[in-house]
A and B are shown apart, each in its own frame.
Chain A
Amino acid sequence: MRKFLLFTLVVVLCFFTGALLFASEEKEQLIVYHWWTAGGEKEAIDAVFKIFNEKYPNIEIVENPVAGGGGGVMRGQIKTMVMAGESPDTFQLTYGTGMLASFAEVLEPIDEVWEGLPFPQLIKDMGTVNGRKVSIPLNMMRCNCLWYNKKLVDKIGVKIPMKNFDEFFAACEKIKKAGYIPYAVGAGSGQQFWWALTVEQIIAGAPHGGPAYVDKMYTGKANPAKDPAIREALEFLKTIMERGYVNTDYSALTWDQASDLLMTNEAVFYQMGDWAKGHFTSAGWKPKVDFDYVTSPGTAGVFTLNLDGFSLCKGAPHKDAVMKWLKLVSSVEAETAFCPIKGATPPRLDAPIDMYDEISKDILKAFRDPSTKIVQCAFAGPPEAWLDVYGGVISKFVESRDIEQGIKDFADGYKKVFGK
């Protein structure tokens, strides 16, 4: 018995000594939050983590992927953590003036990371809040993409591109008559915020809309109750709903389930940012063979821009590690490792483009073309509340289809977002 007790004591002591030694050799950490969990996205961010691990083997990455809501779930979690005084080191945030301003009080300036970086001036401005840079972008996306099933378009004989709304409606009518869903939408399962992105492309292509109006709208200078662009956008939505151009289960599908309707040869068009390309290719679809894109109706020469960036959180426990991380994120090396896998494009002007597919090359060409009118998208330009408020406003409108009430709700939502 005594021997047994002695043996137990020795085992327990060894265990605690080992645990203490292990604890004393604890590495420095980098606590990262992001929402890249889907196929393609996860592999992309893992590629950047791999480079970081190779460069800084003594820093352990504590990764916290939070899926859902286009980042909304993660943003909610970050807010509760910051309020509780448990700030992470760094977190992903869509990169743009309104979104970053919504988090301005919890972000530290990172001007030193930005010194001498070859980003376009617009992107530099988008990351600046109160004169200080607060985020650094890793990848770039185009939102005004109208994806289409190439085989169905050829089979039905749809004329591509469609310059305006009327040409688009004519194409939809032809597709409907051929027995297919003309326009796939997925804004269900808590993803009604996609309506905010969809309506942005409609406003950008509306006769009285355009990129300048979108910019004006996102900076609180518009008057939705009187601006004709809002009426035109709502009329567009009313038309596609009433004429039966949209799948009937739009309020139950997620964005990726809606994009699957193209791959199952049920639908022809799908309005979504170029991350949809990542979804198509990860399912084995080939760009320019099985699917392709055109700019959304009426938005030729326009680029509604979305980027993902990383920031330094106020109260970050490992500030040095974050600065190393942000330096890496800002590099060509990180962009080149990340973007091709995710299906995104690099925002740096000196990033090589030969490893990208034809669609990404086309998007990059448009972005770098000085004549392209670039405007921040709904994830970036307006305050964060925009996505939820207008997700609600538009999801209500597509059910009621009452234009006057829709305009009133749009104007009320504007007051809610901008507080005036």
Chain B
Amino acid sequence: MVVKNNIPSIVFIAPAIVLVAIFVYIFSGWSAWTSLTDWRIIGRMGKFIGIQNYIKLFAGDDIFRKCLYNTAKLIVLFIGITLPLGIICAIFLDLGVKGKGLFRAIYLIPLSFSFVASATMWGWMFMPDKGSINTLLRMLSLDFLTQPWITSTKQSIISVAIVYVWQFSGFATLVYYAGISSVDPDILDAARVDGANTFQRYVRVVLPLQKPATFTVLLILLMYSLRVFDLVWLLTGGGPAFSSEVLATYMYRVTFNQNLFAYGASISFFMFILSFVVIIIPVLIGTLKRMG
């Protein structure tokens, strides 16, 4: 009966489900199968070797461990800065600061940039000797603030995070601003009548109501930071000395530059599982909770 009543809906969503099933899950399955082989010659499939690639990955690959560490560091830095920055900017917008329109245009511009353009632009800005950031600092006699940015093994991943924050803080601001704008004015009026000042109204009333916005922002930022490839590839190439190598760049390097196709597939399948655990499961839990 349920099926009969929902036939039109099923018909409408069926093409999308079929396409996702084929192009996401069947190919992921193929990738999983590939990761269990020793395929390393282009044009000739390898033989089944069980979970040897995974054993090598977790037990004997220092670069992979470094990539995991770098990815985790990027996530913490990126989300740890972008979320609060988004909230602060959204509150300023909501307070009706002067030049709101201009500010909105400025923070949204980075979002419209492709990663290729931002990586190229920031790459030039980060150059230690001739880059515009250090040049500007030197012009202002602030030499002590100049940094090696992308050429330092200690700072390269931080530089990647800076570009990511620059690119996505506008998105976080946008989502939070929408969330803050949709707070019922009656609730805010009630708080005002109860004697709450502006700061208290935002902290005690508005922010606790931003859980859905936070969930959306967190999810999107997490997704982008887990799969980051193009920005790192073009900004630092994963270097120097693997200091900014992340899972996706290492997977590409191993697969296409070193021809270790099966080993690359094991990294890619690990990324799939990681994304599933970190992103899909919380989404499912949230959905189930909402359904009661």
B257 near A387 (CB under 8 angstroms)? yes
B179 interface contact, C-beta 8 A = no
Cα separation A254 to B144 with both chains bound (whole Å): 27
B128 and chain A: residue at smallest CB distance: A249
Cα separation A105 to B44 with both chains bound (whole Å): 7
Cα separation A248 to B127 with both chains bound (whole Å): 10
- The smallest beta-carbon distance between A230 and chain B, in angstroms, is 18
Cα separation A161 to B84 with both chains bound (whole Å): 60
B99-107, B187-195, B208-216, B234-242 - the one binding chain A: B234-242
Choose one: B43, B239, B243; the contact of A82 (CB below 8 Å).
B43
Cα separation A187 to B241 with both chains bound (whole Å): 11
**Contact-residue bracket for chain B:** 20 to 34
Choose one: A76, A250, A395, A398; the contact of B256 (CB below 8 Å).
A76
A248 near B151 (CB under 8 angstroms)? yes
- Name, among A103, A191, A385, A387, the residue most crowded by chain B CB atoms within 10 Å (CB to CB): A385
A189 and chain B: residue at smallest CB distance: B237
The verdict on A252 contacting B150 (CB below 8 Å), with A83-B42, A190-B234, A400-B241 known, is yes
Q: Which B residues are CB-close (under 8 A) to A75?
A: 256
- Name, among A189, A251, A399, the residue most crowded by chain B CB atoms within 10 Å (CB to CB): A251
Q: Which B residues are CB-close (under 8 A) to A252?
A: 123, 126-128, 149-151
A330 interface contact, C-beta 8 A = no
A392 near B63 (CB under 8 angstroms)? yes
Total A-B residue pairs with C-beta atoms closer than 8 Å?
100
The verdict on A103 contacting B42 (CB below 8 Å), with A395-B241, A416-B258 known, is yes
B260 near A385 (CB under 8 angstroms)? yes
A224 interface contact, C-beta 8 A = no
B240 and chain A: residue at smallest CB distance: A251
**Interface residues in B199-244 (C-beta closer than 8 Å to A):** 233-243
B128 near A248 (CB under 8 angstroms)? yes
B242 near A392 (CB under 8 angstroms)? yes
- The smallest beta-carbon distance between A262 and chain B, in angstroms, is 15
The verdict on A251 contacting B151 (CB below 8 Å), with A106-B42, A189-B123, A190-B238 known, is yes
Cα separation A79 to B239 with both chains bound (whole Å): 24
- The smallest beta-carbon distance between A398 and chain B, in angstroms, is 8
A384 interface contact, C-beta 8 A = yes
- The smallest beta-carbon distance between A313 and chain B, in angstroms, is 10
Scan B27-53; emit 1 where CB is below 8 A from any A CB, else 0: 000000000000011111000000000
A383 and chain B: residue at smallest CB distance: B259
Cα separation A416 to B151 with both chains bound (whole Å): 27
A419 near B257 (CB under 8 angstroms)? no
The verdict on A190 contacting B233 (CB below 8 Å), with A249-B127, A252-B123 known, is yes
Cα separation A314 to B43 with both chains bound (whole Å): 10
- The smallest beta-carbon distance between A389 and chain B, in angstroms, is 6
Choose one: A79, A191, A247, A389; the contact of B42 (CB below 8 Å).
A79
B63 near A105 (CB under 8 angstroms)? no
- The smallest beta-carbon distance between B233 and chain A, in angstroms, is 6
B153 interface contact, C-beta 8 A = yes
Residues of A within 8 A of B (CB): 72, 75-76, 79-80, 82-83, 102-103, 105-106, 187-192, 247-252, 314, 383-385, 387-389, 392, 395-396, 398-400, 416-417, 419
The 8 closest A-B pairs by CB, nearest first: A190-B237, A105-B43, A388-B257, A251-B240, A76-B256, A399-B241, A385-B258, A396-B241
Residues of B within 8 A of A (CB): 40-44, 63, 123, 126-129, 148-151, 153, 233-243, 252-253, 256-260
**What are 9 inter-chain pairs, A to B, with CB distance below 8 A?**
A105-B41, A187-B239, A188-B236, A189-B237, A192-B237, A384-B259, A385-B257, A385-B258, A398-B241
Apart from A72-B256, A106-B42, A251-B150, 7 more pairs, CB < 8 Å: A79-B259, A82-B42, A190-B233, A384-B259, A385-B259, A395-B241, A399-B240
